[in-house]
Structure 1
C-alpha cells in the first residue's frame, strides 16, 4: 500500500511539472486518480488538488473547479478550511449555471455541518437548498443522496418511522445499483450509499425497539462491507451496531468487546457522535455487569465529549440521569448539581433545535412534497385533492401529537407528584368520626351502640384486608357483621362520605397503590395481576378506577415509579 501511494506521488510530480503533454479532460482524470484513494483529511493530497484548481481556473472550467474545491475541502483536516472551500464550490457551481452541480454543492456543504459539528440547523438549511435545485433533475443518485440526508435530520428529531421510510427508499434505489456493471467509482459510490442507508435503518429500527429487524440488517451490512477492503471503515460501523445490539440482548461482555473494536475507526474518522454513543453503551454494559465505577468513567467520557462538541444524541439524557443518580447515592451534591446543570443544557439545545428543525422540515421539505403532489393530482382528478388534504391533516396531527405528548408527559409528572403527597398523608392515622358528628338522618336510623359496633367491625374489616375479596357486596358484608345493609350503608355514608361501592373501590385502589409504591416487585405485575391482588375482577374496571381515584393511569404510575427507582430502560 505504501509503495502504491509513492508510485502515485511520482506520477503526480510528472504531471505537475509536465509542459502540457496531457491535454483536455484526461488531465483531470489522471490527476484525480493519483489522490482518489487517499483518506479524507489526508493533506498529502492537497498539492495535487491545488494543481487541479489552477488548471480548472485557467480553462474557466467551472464544473471541474467545483469538483476541485470540494476535493480540497475533503482532504483538508481544518474544519474552517473545509467550509471555506465548500463555499467556493457553490460559487463555481453558480458560475457553471448547472442546477445539478449547485444542488450537489449545497448538499456537500450540509454534510460537513452534519458530520463534523452535528449542526443540524445549518445542515438542514443547505439540504433544503440542495432539494430546491434538484427538483427538476434527472440525476436519481443526487436525489437519493438528498433523501438520505433529510432522513438523518428526521432521525435526529425522533421521527424514526418517517426517517425509516426515507432510508428504505434509499436502500431500494442503491441495492440493485451495487450489482450493476458500471464504472468502478460509481459502483463504489452506490455501494457506499447502500451501506450508509442500511446503517441508518438499523439505527431507526433500534429506536423503534424492532431489534430482530435491526439484527437482520446488521448481517446484511457485514456481508457487503466484508466483500471489499474499500469498506473496512463501514464494516466497523456495523461492528458498532452489533455491540449496541449485544447490549440490548444483555450480552454485555460481547457488547464491550465489539464497541471497543469499532472505536479506533470512529476516532480516526473524528465521528464524535458515534464515539459518544459507543462510550455510552460500554458504560451501560458495565452497569449490566455490576461494574458501576467503570460505567461511571464511561459516562464521564461522554460528558467530556459533549462539553467539547455540544451536540445531542438520543441517549445523552440517560447518560446524565445515570451520573446524577450515582452522585446522589454518593451524597456528592457538588457533582450532582454540576451534572444536573449539564442535563438542563441538553434540554435547552433540544428546545432550541426541535421547533426550528420541525418547522423547516415541514415548510421546506414535507410541505413542498405535499404541494408538488397536490399540483400533480389537480391535473389528474378531483380525488387526488382529497388525498393531499388527508396528508396535510396527518402532518398537522403529527405535530399536534408531538405537542400533546410533551404536554401529557408534564401532566403525568405533576399527577404523580400529587399522588406521592397523597400517599404520605394516608400513612398518617386518620381521626374517626364520632357519633355526635353524624347526620340527623343517621342518628334517626342508627343508635349509638349500633354505631360503635359498626365502627369496630369496619375497622377490623379494613385491617384484615377483607376488601380484597372479589365480588364482595354490601349485603354479604352486612350479613358478616350481623347487621342490616341499611345501617351499614348509612354508617359508610356518614363516616366515609361516599356510598358503599365508592368506599370499597377507594380501599382497594389505595391499598394496591401503596403496595406498588413501597414494594417494587408489584411494579412488575401486569394490569390484570394488580387487579386480582386488590379484589377487582376486571382489568378495565381497575384501570378506570385507578385513574379516577389517583388522577393517573396505572401504566403511567408504574413508569414514573420505575424511573424514580432507577429501573427504567434506555430506548
Structure 2
C-alpha cells in the first residue's frame, strides 16, 4: 500500500509538470484573435456575439469541434436570456458528441447542469447532467473537471440535507482548488481554481451552518472575505460571504450588524441573478427586522420571497418558515384572504420540494454513491496487479521527465539570450539622441504634405505625453483628440509609423513599460495585471502576448531575469 501511495504521488507530479509545460506551448490562432476581442466583456453582454458568431461559423466550417464547444460555451456566458443560455448548452452537448472527446463531453454536460441548477433551480434535470458527466469523468486525466463535477454533486447533496456527505465533498474540492490556485500556472487557470476554491468554501459554510458547527462556520467566513478581498473578479463570492456573515450575526442577535452585511451583499447577489440566494438574503433581512420587533418592515421582505417563488416555482427547504410567518402575520391581522393564499403557497412549496426529494435522493444514492463505492472496491482489488505495470510506466515517464527538463534548460538559455538582446536594444536606444525630422518623404499622393507634418507633430506630442496609456483608446478617440478623422489618421500611421494603429499603439505601450522595468526597480515588484493597467492594456493575457510578440520574451521571464541581473550586480 505504501508503494501505491508513492506511485500515485509520482504520477500526480508528472501530470502537473506535463500540463504546465504543454499549456505554455499554446499556439495562438485566428480563433484566439477572435476571442481576444470579447473575452474582457462582462457576463451577459450581447455585444460579444459580434465575434462569437464568426467564431462558431469558422469552427463549424473547419469541423473543429473543440473550438466549436468553446464557441458555444462563450455564447452561454454572454447570452442575456436564460432560454438562450440553455439552447447554447444543448449545442455544446451536440458538438461535444461529434468530437467524441470525453473531456469535452464532461464540460458540456456540467455546463448544461449548471444552467439547470443556477438559472432555473431545476435540480432533477441538473443532477441528470452531472451524473452523465460523472460517467465520462471516470477515466479522464483532467483533475479539474473531476473536481468541478464533484462540487456540483455536493451542491445537490447539500440541497437534500445530506450536509455531512456534502461537507466531505466540498472539503476535497477545497484541498484541490487551494493547491492549484497557489501553483505556478497560467493566470487564467489560477483565476478559475480560485473561483472553485471560494465557491467550495461558501458551500462548506452552508453545511457548517446547518450542522450547527458555528465556530468552523465563522472561521470559514472570515477566511472567505479575506481571500475574496476587494477584487471585482470575486465580487459575487464576496457577496455570498457577506450573506453568510449576516446570517451568523442574526443568529447572535446582532440585528443591526446583520442588516448592514445582508444589505451590503444584495447588489452582487442581484447582479449574479442567483434568485435562490437572493431569497435567503431577503429571508434573513426580514428575520432581523422581526428580531427588532419591526413587523411592518419584515413582512415586506417575506413577501419578496413569495414573488420569487411565484416567478421561478422554486424555494429552498430552509425558507419554508417564510410562509409560516406570513400565515401567522395574516392571522394576527385578521386577513383571512391572505391567510388562505399563503396556506396555499405553503402547500405548493411542500409539493415541489417533495417531488424533488423523492426523485433526487434515491437517484443520487443509486447512480453516484453506490457506483462510487463499487468502483473504489474494484480499484483496491486490481491495484496489486497494476503496481508492476505502473513501475515500468514510471521508468518510461522518468526518461520523459529527463527529456522535458533538458528541453526546459534549452528554453531557459533561449530566454537568457532574448533578454540580453533586449537589454542591448535598450542601451542603444538610450544613447541615440532624438533628432526631429522635419522632412516628410512623399509616400502617397493623396496625403497633403502640410497636414501630414502637422499630424505627425501631434502624434509626437501624444507619444511624449504618454497619451497611449489611456485605457480603452481607439483610433476614433485618438482622431477626435488630434482634430482629424479616423481614416486620415489611419493612413498616416500606416505610412509613417510602420504599421496599423493597433500595432503602433501596442509598440508604444510595450516599449514604455519595458523601459520602466529597466529604469525603475519598483515596477519589478508589480504583478502582470498592474503592469498591464500601467500602460493602458485592459487584459493581463493580452499584455503578456503583446510583450512576447514585441520583445520575444514573456514579461514574467523578463522580470525574473532583470531581478537576477540586479542581484548579481549587487
Common topology (TM > 0.5)? yes
Partner of 2:250: 247
The correspondence of residues 320-359 of structure 1 with structure 2, limited to 5 A, is: 320-359=323-362
Length, aligned pairs only: 359
* Equivalent residue in structure 2 for 1:167, among 170, 173, 181: 170
Q: TM-score, normalised by structure 1?
A: 0.61
Runs of at least 5 residues in structure 1 that lack an aligned partner in the other structure: 1-22, 382-571
Cα deviation, 1:42-64, whole Å, max 9, x if unaligned, reads: 11111111121112112211000
The correspondence of residues 493-504 of structure 1 with structure 2, limited to 5 A, is: none
Partner of 1:104: 107
The correspondence of residues 37-116 of structure 1 with structure 2, limited to 5 A, is: 37-116=40-119
Question: 2-side partners of 1:328 and 1:91: how far apart?
Answer: 53
Partner of 1:291: 294
How far did 1:227 drift?
Answer: 6.1
Partner of 2:209: 206
Question: 1-side partners of 2:232 and 2:88: how far apart?
Answer: 29
Partner of 1:407: none
Partner of 2:223: 220
Question: 1-side partners of 2:33 and 2:238: how far apart?
Answer: 29
The question of 1:150 aligning with 2:145 is answered: no
Question: 2-side partners of 1:265 and 1:86: how far apart?
Answer: 25
Partner of 2:190: 187
How far did 1:233 drift?
Answer: 2.2
Question: 2-side partners of 1:243 and 1:38: how far apart?
Answer: 31
Cα deviation, 1:335-369, whole Å, max 9, x if unaligned, reads: 11111111111111121110110111012111210
- Kindly tell me: are residues 228 and 298 of structure 1, through their superposed partners in 2, closer, same or farther at Cα, counting changes over 3 Å? closer
Partner of 2:374: 371
SS at 2:44 equivalent: coil
Partner of 1:133: 136
How far did 1:24 drift?
Answer: 7.8
How far did 1:185 drift?
Answer: 0.7
Larger of the two Rg values belongs to structure: 1
Partner of 1:474: none
Cα deviation, 1:240-266, whole Å, max 9, x if unaligned, reads: 111111111111111111111111111
Are the aligned partners of 2:317 and 2:353 in contact in 1 as well (CA < 8 Å)?
A: no
| Greater RCO, CA 8 A, separation 6+ | 2
How far did 1:25 drift?
Answer: 4.4
How far did 1:269 drift?
Answer: 1.3
SS at 2:317 equivalent: coil
Cα deviation, 1:461-485, whole Å, max 9, x if unaligned, reads: xxxxxxxxxxxxxxxxxxxxxxxxx
Runs of at least 5 residues in structure 2 that lack an aligned partner in the other structure: 1-25, 385-570
Superposition RMSD in Å: 1.5
SS at 1:152 equivalent: helix
SS at 1:315 equivalent: helix
The correspondence of residues 392-407 of structure 1 with structure 2, limited to 5 A, is: none
- Kindly tell me: are residues 267 and 230 of structure 1, through their superposed partners in 2, closer, same or farther at Cα, counting changes over 3 Å? same
Partner of 1:306: 309
Question: 2-side partners of 1:179 and 1:379: how far apart?
Answer: 34
* Equivalent residue in structure 2 for 1:234, among 237, 242, 253: 237
How far did 1:216 drift?
Answer: 0.5
Partner of 1:488: none
Cα deviation, 1:142-198, whole Å, max 9, x if unaligned, reads: 000000000000011011111100000100101111111111110000000000000
How far did 1:34 drift?
Answer: 2.5
Are the aligned partners of 2:166 and 2:207 in contact in 1 as well (CA < 8 Å)?
A: yes
* Equivalent residue in structure 1 for 2:33, among 18, 30, 36: 30
How far did 1:314 drift?
Answer: 2.6
Question: 2-side partners of 1:149 and 1:92: how far apart?
Answer: 22
Partner of 2:268: 265
Question: 1-side partners of 2:367 and 2:224: how far apart?
Answer: 32
Cα deviation, 1:301-337, whole Å, max 9, x if unaligned, reads: 1111111111121322110111111112222222111
SS at 2:37 equivalent: helix
SS at 2:315 equivalent: coil
Q: TM-score, normalised by structure 2?
A: 0.61
Question: 2-side partners of 1:253 and 1:34: how far apart?
Answer: 45
Question: 2-side partners of 1:227 and 1:335: how far apart?
Answer: 43
Cα deviation, 1:381-406, whole Å, max 9, x if unaligned, reads: 9xxxxxxxxxxxxxxxxxxxxxxxxx
SS at 2:43 equivalent: coil
Q: Which runs of 4+ in 1 moved over 2 A?
A: 376-381
Question: 2-side partners of 1:293 and 1:376: how far apart?
Answer: 60
